Amino acid sequence: MRLILGQRSLTRNWQVGDGREDALAAHVLAHARAGDLDDAIRVIDDFCATRSVMINVGDEKGEILDRAVRRASPSLLP
């Protein structure tokens, strides 16, 4: 239902627009150590697991993506 109601925002902004993205951003700013990417990822994973279900890539899928990027050996990431 949330996706149906947020379809317009999703197709325009790539976000459902129900406030979860803003809540996540505020949570990361409040709880992650500034400038520490690994800590920001830890806080995002925690938020998505305990506060609001969101699509995120955990350790297993992250390793698959890391291997794919290493294999492709890109010179620039978009």
Interval 16-53: pLDDT, tens? 667 888 899 999 999 999 999 999 989 998 998 898 87
Confidence of residue 15 (pLDDT cuts 50, 70, 90): low
Q: What is the pTM of this model?
A: 0.56
Q: Where are the domains of the chain?
A: 19-72
CA–CA dist 76, 21 (Å, integer): 27
- Which pLDDT score is estimated for 4? 58
CB within 8 Å of 57: residues ≥ 6 apart: 65
Cα angle 11-13-19, degrees, rounded to a multiple of 5:
110
CA-based nearest residue to 40, from 64, 19, 56? 56
Given a contact cutoff of 8 angstroms between Cβ atoms, the answer to whether 16 and 6 are in contact is yes
- Which pLDDT score is estimated for 59? 77
CA–CA dist 2, 21 (Å, integer): 13
